Structure 1
């Protein structure tokens, strides 16, 4: 299996090369040259996620040096449960795919752990420097997955004042091989810095830079696998092809869902739920794709004005006719959290609440037609400052999140300029 760049200048890379580079040298994103198509009937809905994921992803690893390691990579990455629950028995068609039972309480734990397991096998004698821009949850997942690994050093860029207090603690509490950098700007500034660093060939070569953002295909493949696994499970138990509703910011999760469907997963209509950032919504309404500055919202991890993975949607052949984009503003996020807690006792995080609200906006005929999986992307405790005042009670952390509370924290601060990041990297931010 070979991979090409969405910008057309690069072809013929094997998967391990695509993962090692992160982004293509021409600035594009890697995609498989030939998309494998599975018969979902050949997959056991009762199989463990790690077993299912290895079977689902195997064609993409064909003839690659990582192919003999795929079973072990999946076994290392998929070590926590992914339950499908019914949040409200009065709405039996709505199911939540709970993706927050990992070490940092967010769906990005899957991709970060999968990618770091790949890097363990690709790094060689010198560690890779994993550069990750984060709007909230990516950095914590990358830090947790990278901590203590000899194969990588992680540098996490996060926007000053634009993450929740718990998210910031989770970004800044890891070991000596993980450094958190507070950028005086928004997420798009962090993302631009990361892209500029990769484009600087001397800097990238000097530090063996690679990416742990969703620009790296290794972040998205495990997401496509768990989406396919969930679809096969729910289709088997319900006898119907489920729809999916996915909270979307940088479009990695949304793309992974559409990729799983294109590879043969039994997935019906796909709804991408966004917050007040309107770039994707305007495109879906035929107004063209126009990047803009990000808008700060309650669902801060989705505060993206120029989603990187839009290039992959186009490369996959996705058009506005292939999905629905539902915009959910802060008032509706808050109202959905309040209403669903009062109705059933179930607590959504602000991001997951965009999916719950999108389900509520479906036409009654569409809600009744098939089961629908809403991706519950983060544990609500991570956003206690938002959620607790709305529901009127304290939230309890999961055991992994409780363990983060007592860790010491440290961070660096820089301006949103490449020279500032270059100076920090060259000064050696990592203890000897």
Structure 2
């Protein structure tokens, strides 16, 4: 598999190189030179496969002969060892629940697959993983790489801008997991990560890579659950399918669009955001004007400069799709709360991100369409707000209960690259 740097197309790398590097020159994202295309017969055959087998085929179609299918399959077995559920909510709407993994969020798919792949290709070379999180990536990456030989993990997150239980899930591990509460917002964390990847000495001495959705291994892993969602739907519901994706850094939506480009029958996608609405405004007005990031109930989507957007624009250009085909919508906190309550009245306990995706899907779905919205995290990860909104007390799942009272090991830093650089040399060498 060959990938090229979106900011410097002359930089072309293998899949293995892209996983190890994370970002290309000038902070450029890697993008596949070729996107595998399925004909109707291949698609029908793949949709009849079990999740592990189909996911191995999907990933091998991108990876090629760099890693044998047998090894890819073993990585998938180890990474995707938990269920995903399509749960009907209304006659023409279902939820794709992606939070049944060990850290109760969709990020488990990408984080765990990347960990397995790195274990295959690292050859005992020490690696430092530097990543930023707006809430759920941190836990998925921390648990996927916890105690992994020759791997140090540094996770940046915005201080006081994720939920206490989100923080507990990845800041209580210690050992090779180093967490830093940055005095700023997620965009500040993301900027610091990009600066680190521009530092050639840092990259060389620490063998630096990233586990954000900017890393191609994580992104490709997320394609797999879109195929599984369609496979679980009744055949009649696969027609005129609309998928609503809660969007912050836009990696999840990027993966869905890759699935569509491969041939998965999705009529259209909806980019569902909170009031951090850079992309919806861009799609409506044609101007890229990020505002200051605003803290909301759906904190994992509090991103004003989404990293993955260049991949989406490139994909639309490559597929000769028009950007106005991408539906979009914005939901504020007041409507998010109301929607969580509405879903609860239907017997479905949701959290703010899923509620945003459901609200816009419900508002935009046509009579002849079938809608699927992504439930990206367990409601209990947002227990404080969900309990208040639905006036009930959610029980804590075991993964959260065993960490709820543990001490937090996080360091604190201002959004200053010089101080982060010093920290990296102290803790990753």
Relative to structure 1, the CA distance from residue 219 to residue 239 in structure 2 (aligned partners, 3 Å threshold; closer, same or farther) is closer
Per-residue Cα deviation, 1:160-199 (whole angstroms, up to 9, x for no partner): 1111111111130124010110111110000000000010
Matches of 2:10 and 2:144 in 1, distance apart? Answer: 30
Relative to structure 1, the CA distance from residue 47 to residue 63 in structure 2 (aligned partners, 3 Å threshold; closer, same or farther) is closer
Instruction: Report the TM-score, using the length of structure 1 for normalisation.
Output: 0.94
CA RMSD of aligned residues (A): 1.7
Indicate conservation of the 8 Å contact 1:111/1:218, yes or no: yes
SS where residue 394 of structure 1 aligns?
coil
SS where residue 423 of structure 1 aligns?
helix
Q: Residue 278 of structure 1: CA displacement?
A: 1.5
- 1:55 pairs with 2:57: yes
Matches of 1:222 and 1:151 in 2, distance apart? Answer: 23
Indicate conservation of the 8 Å contact 1:334/1:390, yes or no: yes
Question: What is the 5 A alignment of 1:4-403?
Answer: 4-39=4-39, 41-65=43-67, 67-87=69-89, 91-234=90-233, 236=235, 238=237, 240-317=239-316, 319-342=322-345, 344-362=346-364, 366=366, 368-403=367-402
Relative to structure 1, the CA distance from residue 407 to residue 279 in structure 2 (aligned partners, 3 Å threshold; closer, same or farther) is same
Indicate conservation of the 8 Å contact 2:238/2:370, yes or no: no
Relative to structure 1, the CA distance from residue 235 to residue 327 in structure 2 (aligned partners, 3 Å threshold; closer, same or farther) is same
Matches of 1:151 and 1:111 in 2, distance apart? Answer: 20
Indicate conservation of the 8 Å contact 1:129/1:155, yes or no: yes
Relative to structure 1, the CA distance from residue 408 to residue 302 in structure 2 (aligned partners, 3 Å threshold; closer, same or farther) is same
The aligned counterpart of 1:404 is 403
Structure 2, unaligned stretches of length 5 or more? none
SS where residue 233 of structure 2 aligns?
helix
Relative to structure 1, the CA distance from residue 66 to residue 411 in structure 2 (aligned partners, 3 Å threshold; closer, same or farther) is farther
Indicate conservation of the 8 Å contact 1:119/1:151, yes or no: no
Q: Residue 63 of structure 1: CA displacement?
A: 2.6
The aligned counterpart of 2:2 is 2
Indicate conservation of the 8 Å contact 1:135/1:158, yes or no: yes
Stretch moving more, 230-239 or 136-145:
230-239
Q: Residue 413 of structure 1: CA displacement?
A: 0.8
Q: Residue 232 of structure 1: CA displacement?
A: 3.1
Matches of 1:251 and 1:324 in 2, distance apart? Answer: 14
Matches of 2:11 and 2:70 in 1, distance apart? Answer: 23
Q: Residue 237 of structure 1: CA displacement?
A: 6.1
Indicate conservation of the 8 Å contact 2:240/2:368, yes or no: no
Per-residue Cα deviation, 1:252-275 (whole angstroms, up to 9, x for no partner): 001111111011111111111100
Q: Residue 55 of structure 1: CA displacement?
A: 1.2
Moved beyond 6 Å, runs of 4+: none
Matches of 1:131 and 1:66 in 2, distance apart? Answer: 28
Indicate conservation of the 8 Å contact 1:228/1:261, yes or no: no
Matches of 1:30 and 1:429 in 2, distance apart? Answer: 25
Instruction: Report the TM-score, using the length of structure 2 for normalisation.
Output: 0.95
